[in-house]
Structure 1
Amino acid sequence: MTEARRYGVLHETLDDIGERTDVSLRCIEHEPEVWESRMQVTCECLSEGGALDNLERRHLEDRLGETVYARFPVQTRSALTVAHTLMDRGFFDEEELRSKMDQVREKMTVD
């Protein structure tokens, strides 16, 4: 099974966020959006709780970001890497994540 198929729910988000267009490092020099700051806090909590060490996550972001998730904007790679790794570790599966993402999308369209 290919990475794209195995993690289809993550690859499908490319339709929502759009493909990476800026390949320079300038794309990471911006004021973080609220979701980015919250994602970093979540990563800190995962590291503190022992679920996903920050250094390990950064190494995974580098590896996965330039291979499996190369088409995604740089800012989204933390979220993709965390979800990818937590699925690998059995915290949840693709269908559970898809269900939760559908709930969030529905809530966002109602609000």
Structure 2
Amino acid sequence: MTTAQGYEIILGTLKEGSERGGALPDTDRKPDPWESAMQATVECLSWRGAWDNLERRHTEDELGETIYSEFPVHSRSAITTAHTLLDRGIVTQDELKAKMDRIRARLERA
């Protein structure tokens, strides 16, 4: 069961003027490296019994079409995974924010 509203830490990542969801993603587009890593992560969660793939897909559909509909379609697996980890108390919003800040700083240095 997912919360009925989005998490501010997640919603705050959608920048004004960014690509919006709604349309189906370009099927000829090559996935970004983070997308491949994300797919591997969710496969491991399923393999270890932490989050079944069918449950994940239902969650992605539910949240991607409602709360996080403004996000690009190709990012929704990451967004809904973060949402679920927050729902389950596996990470807190403060922990997620700290990790996101570290990643942004690393990317800015690159």
Q: TM-score range by the shorter chain?
A: 0.7 to 0.9
Give secondary structure in 2 for the equivalent of 1:80: helix
Q: Which has the higher helix share?
A: 1
Tell me how far 1:24 sits from its aligned partner.
2.9
AA at the equivalent of 2:15:
D
Q: Match of 2:13, as an amino acid?
A: T
Q: CA RMSD in A?
A: 2.0
Match of 1:78 in 2: 77
The runs of at least 4 consecutive aligned structure 1 residues that moved more than 3 Å come to none
Distance (Å, rounded) in 2 between the aligned partners of 1:68 and 1:96: 22
Higher relative contact order (CA 8 A, sep 6+): 2
Whole-angstrom CA distance in 1 between matches of 2:39 and 2:16 = 21
Aligned length: 107
What 5-or-longer segments of structure 1 have no aligned partner?
A: none
TM-score of the superposition, structure 1-length normalised? Answer: 0.87
Cα distance in 2 for partners of 1:108, 1:59 equals 32
- Spell out the pairing of 1:32-111 with structure 2 (5 A cutoff): 32-111=31-110
- Structure 2: state its 5+ residue gaps: none
